[in-house]
Amino acid sequence: MLGKIQPSLRDLGLSSRPPGNKLPGYYHGALRDKGWIRGIEGDFNASALNNRVFTLATALQSRIISTLNMNKAPIHVAVTGAAGAIGYSILFRIASGEVFGPDQPIILHLVDIEPALPVLQGVILELEDVASPVLKGLVATADMNEGFRNISWALLIGSVPRKPGMERKDLLAINGKIFTGQGQAIAKNAAKDVRILVVGNPCNTNCLIGMNNSDLPHDRWFAMTRLDENRAVAQLAKKSGADATAISNLAIWGNHSPTMYPDFYNAKIGGKPVTEVITDENWLKTEFVTTVAQRGTAVMNARKASSAASAANAAIDTVKSIITPTKAGDWHSVCVESDGSYGIEKGLICSFPMRSDGKKLEIVQGLKIHPFSQEKINGTVAELQGEKAIATELGMLSK
């Protein structure tokens, strides 16, 4: 009966404000509403929402969580670009417990640039209104050290979005430097088990930049092609009339860009090779590949903005497929550092077919690569090599 336990902060051995009352606002609505935090509503206004809006001291969080009888220690999860469109979709699904489990307490770190902090105020109010059973604290900040402190997951979504007419390469010069700083700040502040998923484009090379500017083990860094995989699954389902759940073994190779390659030769529909179910191989080689490749552009042209809800969904799918054992015989697409598998240059962040045992990811080995696929893979890998060369030239990677 949570409502009956109403310890004041003093009862918990903590004061309601930090010493000297220096922080602009200290707030946790759900706790306040239960009478656990008193007399601080006055601090919660737009002008108070400067660099740090509110936070709960770690000691307070752990005491309250133990009061709630949650067995697991909370994990800290950072989302950059938290005030943006993808952030708006992803935060609520994380807060629902869908991603890390219904019994895993979460402290969300909402990270964004200073001008976006007032918008975050509304997001925070709405997150509170979810009355989430797992969300046990929030940190909202534009300070990367604070944003990445103690985190076990970083979802790096924030970047300057692509505008109509721009390709991901155009974004490299603008966005690459964000990831230099973020790589360093994560290495300095995060928990020992931190894992990082880069979503902000050009995500493969941003990931490469972040990874090379941190001293974390390289197998902690991931970039996202699950959006392309999901798009490919949807197109195959539509064409074949099968349910999306019947599509398996669909790997995206290479870069998250129009050069990516959805390997339909190794994919299956209802356990059968795709080419046996969809016998129009020409459609697969042309319309199918092009539709998936151009989907981001099609969404952008229609919405006049980048895909957001589907990108958030794909980021969630990616995290889940990293932390959950993969179905027997299946695989998913994740961009990881190449170890030279399939002849792909070592060190590139490239999308491969990946399997997880729930803890570690591995590249699926021994797949037969059709000559058509090989040509496409060569093309997308060449683009990754080109982006790496540009990033090196820009001084974002050591030579």
Both tokens of residue 104?
A: 């895993």
Nearer to ligand LMR, 157 or 381 (CB): 157
Torsional class of 258: left (φ above 0), alpha (ψ -120 to 50), beta (otherwise): alpha
Nearer to ligand LMR, 199 or 284 (CB): 199
Residues in the interface with ligand LMR (CB under 6 A) total: 8
Rule CB under 6 A: say whether 226 interacts with ligand LMR. no
Q: Is 256 a catalytic residue?
A: yes
Question: Binders of ligand LMR among 227-256, rule CB under 6 A?
Answer: 227
State whether residue 69 is helix, strand or coil: coil
Tell me, residue by residue from 290 to 309, as one string, x for binding to ligand LMR by CB under 6 A and - for no binding.
Answer: ------x--x------xx--
Torsional class of 237: left (φ above 0), alpha (ψ -120 to 50), beta (otherwise): alpha
Please report how close the Cβ of residue 299 comes to ligand LMR at its closest, in angstroms. 5
Which whole-number Å values give the CA distances from 144 to 91, 123, 180, 242, 251, in the listed order?
A: 18, 19, 12, 45, 34
Other C-beta atoms lying within 10 Å of the C-beta of residue 323? 16
Which of the 8 DSSP states describes residue 165?
T
Question: Binders of ligand LMR among 145-204, rule CB under 6 A?
Answer: 162, 201
Nearer to ligand LMR, 140 or 233 (CB): 233
Residue 224: which of 104, 325, 335 has the closest Cα?
A: 335
Catalytic residue among 28, 76, 256, 332: 256
Please report how close the Cβ of residue 314 comes to ligand LMR at its closest, in angstroms. 9
Q: Identify the H or E element spanning 390.
A: helix 371-393
Please report how close the Cβ of residue 307 comes to ligand LMR at its closest, in angstroms. 4
Which of the 8 DSSP states describes residue 285?
I
Q: How far apart are CA 137 and CA 89, in angstroms?
A: 19
Please report how close the Cβ of residue 21 comes to ligand LMR at its closest, in angstroms. 43
Nearer to ligand LMR, 130 or 390 (CB): 390
Nearer to ligand LMR, 128 or 317 (CB): 317
Residues that bind ligand LMR (CB under 6 A): 162, 201, 227, 296, 299, 306-307, 311
* Positions marked active-site: 256
